[in-house]
Structure 1
């Protein structure tokens, strides 16, 4: 199938883009041909609070619909509930026929047919899996089981777990070298990335992470480098993809550094990194690590994936319920597409729908598109349109899931997100959530309740305002951020 795909892409390149360079995009090798953007391609996003996978046509940058894997709250709290919860991670097969979608809350990997959007199988693994990806030969799916200390290796044909690879506790994500020789596994709980031989599933290398919390990792198509992000310290690290797997570079990228992916084009190889606390995507050369662009994209950018020809990068905006399309020649956003709630991982799959319109089994966005946005800033800060903390209220029907992307606070300090009867935060406060900032002075904070009805009430007696306070002795302390007007 791969040879027929390559032949198809070569034909498409000849007919549609004679000037296109032929150099594969991650996760494939540089020797693989580019695949020009077409209506047969799809962009998928895993959406955590609506429990959906959105499906977008990149030729028009239009949402086609969603694959609904589960229900919002409170339906998914039932003891008889059978759907998926916290749809989060995503990978796709080398033949572009299958998505593997990870749901953290239901400990599952759901395999979806890209041509028909139909669920083919669901495999249940250990506690809190995070990401899944196919080996380059298409025979195995490796799932990082972040709540435990192993990689679950699933047979890609039978969908059954065949073995477990023991790794440092809290594996965050794995990606493979383009030649299929190595699997690179970073950790979310321990400051150590390991390299695993795909042939015999043995650990053959260790790389020290500067901090424990790595959510994402990517290999360059030339097989020379591996990049991984550190969400807790706001850094990105690069190491040699071949033994002795030595560290090459550490880059300060910014608070809530999320995902990284690689684009190859006529100008070289570039790493695109989503920085959630800055609402930006930063672009770096992979040869000299020079930053060449800073792209404002929208609230809390998360997943990142290039098109099959590297002319675009798609970015999930977690606190904006949207997908941003970036032109990699101009490094500017050319489209923002409404999708489901809190997109996490993003995959661009070329030729996902070889025939037909690919509309089977898709549903309208519905309540998954309902969200309210707020912002918080320091009490005396100037209203310059850029607030350090963005807040989204994802509608679940009777209630909302609140998610705050908090930045601009002191590192490693305890704080409280609370409701106040006064806009300046004075008077009695009702705590919603306690949290501690990471070493970059940021945090992702969640709460659940009928919050939108309270903070948007037209009745002055009932109106409440979101605030962040220092954590005092058994009660809120000094107000450090208030709701923007």
Structure 2
């Protein structure tokens, strides 16, 4: 065979791998499938819950192309006549790479988007507070975890209509499938149990005990041997065998606000990448001996994570930084950051999503979705904020016009303790406090805290005389705040 003929044959194999039913040799597909080199035909998507957008990035040059606007920011989405989506959050894609399934928690919907044109093809409404949606590997069904209830909504991928429900324990958090399409793995956000379901007949065939009730994310290794899931409340990840008897084989200490897990299949082996929101890090583990091989500092509150089609890059959504971060898997170094919409949650890398054309139809600029303010809170020593070695509490104010949605990634607090996020009139946190949100920390001493209001106008240095306020966190006893333990860094 001539060199020219060999090159054409290899190119054809790559195209067939991208366009056929089999995914590339990366999660969520099989490691036996051919990898797809990064190109301008690929797309990286992020679901952004406060701007209600889906950002679309060209990974070949790490360039944001625009956003698909599925809804309006607050307070426009409070109207009783509002018809858009609210809290755009979950994301999956079809095996042929032509359809994106985007879950909106607040409007109980799954939006099916054409990857080539960015057009919404259909919106299917399901039960209360769905979380994630993924296609079965044969492309015939879409399983949606309805976290506010006790079932998986099984949608016919051809008609977009619900065909059946799979009853599980209350609060199914997420589901993923074995690369061969035989099993679906469903972890729970409200009960300490992961269910294993036979895809062929929708019957539960196994159960795996979770060390805590709160699993936000689950993923299967491309070699079909393991399933990893994260436990956000206690800062751990667990691993079990992907085949019967589904034996639990490892529990890893990862850190506070452990979010998502995914894999890179490389020449050096298979590696699990885990986002740890409370530490602003991505931790990397081998899947053969579970040794930790890297700790990668990234931006504020890393959340969703996904590999490129060839495993050379891992992409991370930074929830409190409104960015996507690209990590080189050969060096485990950050090589690029891309601005996106507000509070990216799930992300997805889709190889060959745009077979022809520039794929920018229907995209809009970031606009208000790109307007945020970042703050930090530090511990208090002798009445002054002092930076410590561990990640500080990060706060982002997401502009919604006059108002902002505040989100704090609170860390370094006492486990299972009541606190209040408040405004103080003095930089040291002294004086009367104006409570914004009460919260309880999880067993890892962390929490995600939200509030809404015209907060940016009073917490910045340019606030008018007498109006300046400072964000603080104080313990709460009998509904009353005590002395602040964290104060806004100046």
Task: Give the structure-2-normalised TM-score.
Answer: 0.95
Give, in whole Å, the separation in 2 of the partners of 1:207 and 1:79: 42
Alignment RMSD, CA only? 1.6
Question: Retained in 1: the 8 A contact 2:279–2:390?
Answer: no
- Identify if the C-alpha distance between structure 1 residues 163 and 283 changes in structure 2 by more than 3 Å, giving closer, same or farther: same
Query: Which residue matches 2:18?
Result: none
Matched position secondary structure for 2:47: strand
Give, in whole Å, the separation in 2 of the partners of 1:198 and 1:478: 54
Give, in whole Å, the separation in 2 of the partners of 1:399 and 1:184: 40
Query: Which residue matches 1:453?
Result: 457
Query: Which residue matches 1:47?
Result: 48
Query: Which residue matches 1:207?
Result: 208
Give, in whole Å, the separation in 2 of the partners of 1:396 and 1:472: 33
Query: Which residue matches 2:487?
Result: 482
Query: Which residue matches 1:315?
Result: 316
Question: Retained in 1: the 8 A contact 2:183–2:198?
Answer: yes
1:364-383 deviations in Å (ceiling 9; x for gaps): 00000000000001112643
Query: Which residue matches 2:355?
Result: 354
1:102-134 deviations in Å (ceiling 9; x for gaps): 000000000000000000000000000000000
Matched position secondary structure for 1:378: strand
Matched position secondary structure for 1:159: coil
1:313-332 deviations in Å (ceiling 9; x for gaps): 00000000000000000000
Query: Which residue matches 2:3?
Result: none
Query: Which residue matches 1:11?
Result: 11
Q: Cα offset for 1:474?
A: 2.7
Q: Cα offset for 1:226?
A: 0.1
Query: Which residue matches 1:472?
Result: 477
For structure 1, which runs of at least 5 residues remain unmatched after alignment?
A: 1-6, 16-21
- Identify if the C-alpha distance between structure 1 residues 23 and 66 changes in structure 2 by more than 3 Å, giving closer, same or farther: closer
Query: Which residue matches 2:65?
Result: 64
1:5-44 deviations in Å (ceiling 9; x for gaps): xx999407889xxxxxx97001111110000000000000
Question: Retained in 2: the 8 A contact 1:9–1:34?
Answer: no
Query: Which residue matches 2:146?
Result: 145
Give, in whole Å, the separation in 2 of the partners of 1:228 and 1:27: 14
Question: Retained in 2: the 8 A contact 1:218–1:260?
Answer: yes
Query: Which residue matches 1:434?
Result: 438
Question: Retained in 1: the 8 A contact 2:91–2:132?
Answer: yes
Q: Cα offset for 1:386?
A: 6.0
Give, in whole Å, the separation in 2 of the partners of 1:383 and 1:134: 45
Give, in whole Å, the separation in 1 of the partners of 2:362 and 2:81: 24
Query: Which residue matches 2:292?
Result: 291
Query: Which residue matches 1:3?
Result: none
Give, in whole Å, the separation in 1 of the partners of 2:163 and 2:369: 36
Question: Retained in 2: the 8 A contact 1:455–1:463?
Answer: yes
Query: Which residue matches 1:110?
Result: 111
What is the aligned counterpart of 2:448 among 444, 463, 469?
A: 444
Aligned length: 473
1:383-439 deviations in Å (ceiling 9; x for gaps): 368652000000000100000000000000000000000011111110000000000
Q: Mapping of 1:75-90 within 5 angstroms?
A: 75-90=76-91
Question: Retained in 1: the 8 A contact 2:457–2:463?
Answer: no
Task: Give the structure-1-normalised TM-score.
Answer: 0.96
Deviates more, 1:234-243 or 1:458-467: 458-467
Give, in whole Å, the separation in 1 of the partners of 2:450 and 2:12: 46
Query: Which residue matches 1:462?
Result: 467
Matched position secondary structure for 1:76: helix
- Identify if the C-alpha distance between structure 1 residues 43 and 476 changes in structure 2 by more than 3 Å, giving closer, same or farther: same
Query: Which residue matches 2:218?
Result: 217
Matched position secondary structure for 2:380: coil
Matched position secondary structure for 1:264: strand
Give, in whole Å, the separation in 2 of the partners of 1:387 and 1:106: 33
- Identify if the C-alpha distance between structure 1 residues 243 and 8 changes in structure 2 by more than 3 Å, giving closer, same or farther: farther
What is the aligned counterpart of 2:394 among 387, 390, 395?
A: 390
